[in-house]
């Protein structure tokens, strides 16, 4: 079995091999240099510069407001922090839905200006032409089906998608279409685990889940959620590995107290 941990660089080909050898793929979001550096040193396979930056970095309610320029800024900061991980960048809302030429131009800007390795976009049959055009220009594309947050105003809610057979059938078809169009991988967000398992088993390309159960080829989480920086977001699929909100608040409170009572800096901390 291949030793993927010692791989110097993770590529889209590495991910395909990992699927073939049934080695799970780890993916997490990052939006800045310092966290990306830590995440990469920990050995993550894929870093997603998600448009969730719109929520967790900028405080917007949805992912819709973030711009292509802002995504490029986040992505180039991440790229400067990594040595090994594959960096995938979300094409933001409004930068690809117009037509495939617009999609290609946006993907090219991301690749040229950030140094990232791949782009991700949301949707199925409606983005097939764009996927084909971007891939034919040599840019790897990751798909995203199920709950697609850029369409939140169409869905009206963030509940689990594709519970009904009609929507599940459409998702199965879309997943196959995206594979045929040239996607190297697909994210499935917030769909029943049984459906996600079926799709993963039917595709040659790796399927990465978020709220899609364990029988897929890898998992992705938003870093602010899994570190517990963001306390308000509590979906069932989220496992919190730290409670950084309280840790950071506690440390800053202590710093404020130390400054106020004149305990910081002490003699060793001055020149």
What is the contact surface with ligand KIV in residues (CB under 6 A)? 29, 48, 50-52, 90, 187, 189, 210, 220, 222
Distance CA 172, CA 180 (A): 13
Can 189 be counted among the known catalytic residues? yes
Instruction: In whole angstroms, give the CA distance from residue 171 to residue 186.
Output: 12
Q: Which of 189, 198, 232, 267 is catalytic?
A: 189
Q: Which is nearer to ligand KIV, 11 or 62 (CB)?
A: 62
Rg for the chain (alpha carbons), in Å?
Answer: 20
Cβ proximity to ligand KIV, 66 vs 269, nearer residue: 66
Min dist CB 53 to ligand KIV, Å, is: 7
Distance in Å, CB of 8 to ligand KIV, minimum:
26
Q: Which is nearer to ligand KIV, 241 or 255 (CB)?
A: 241
Q: Return the number of the residue (233 or 246) whose C-beta is nearest ligand KIV.
A: 233
Task: Kindly state the smallest distance separating residue 92's Cβ from ligand KIV, in Å.
Answer: 10
CB of 173 to ligand KIV, least distance (A): 21
Which two three-digit tokens encode residue 160? 């689990």
Active site residues: 189
């Amino acid at each position: 079995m291949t030793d993927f941990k010692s791989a110097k660089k993770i590529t889209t080909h590495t991910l395909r091999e990992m699927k073939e050898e049934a080695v799970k793929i780890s993916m997490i979001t990052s939006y800045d240099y310092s966290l990306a550096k830590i995440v990469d040193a920990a050995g993550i396979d894929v870093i997603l510069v998600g448009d969730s930056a719109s929520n967790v970095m900028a405080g917007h309610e949805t992912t819709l407001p973030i711009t292509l320029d802002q995504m490029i800024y986040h992505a180039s900061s991440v790229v400067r922090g990594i040595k090994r991980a594959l960096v995938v960048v979300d094409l933001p809302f409004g930068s690809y839905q117009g037509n495939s030429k617009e999609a290609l131009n946006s993907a090219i800007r991301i690749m040229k200006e950030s140094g990232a390795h791949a782009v991700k976009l949301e949707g199925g049959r409606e983005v097939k032409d764009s996927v084909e055009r971007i891939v034919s220009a040599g840019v790897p594309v990751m798909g995203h089906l199920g709950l697609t947050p850029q369409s939140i105003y169409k869905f009206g809610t963030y509940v689990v998608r594709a519970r009904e057979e009609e929507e599940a059938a459409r998702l199965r078809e879309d997943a196959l279409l995206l594979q045929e169009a040239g996607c190297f991988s697909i994210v499935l967000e917030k769909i029943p685990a049984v459906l996600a398992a079926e799709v993963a088993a039917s595709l040659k390309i790796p399927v990465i889940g978020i709220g899609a159960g364990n029988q897929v080829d890898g998992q992705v989480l938003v870093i602010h959620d899994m570190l517990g920086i963001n306390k308000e977001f509590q979906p069932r699929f989220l496992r919190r590995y730290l409670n950084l909100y309280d840790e950071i608040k506690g440390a800053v409170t202590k710093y404020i107290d130390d400054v106020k009572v004149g305990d910081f800096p002490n003699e060793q901390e001055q020149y």
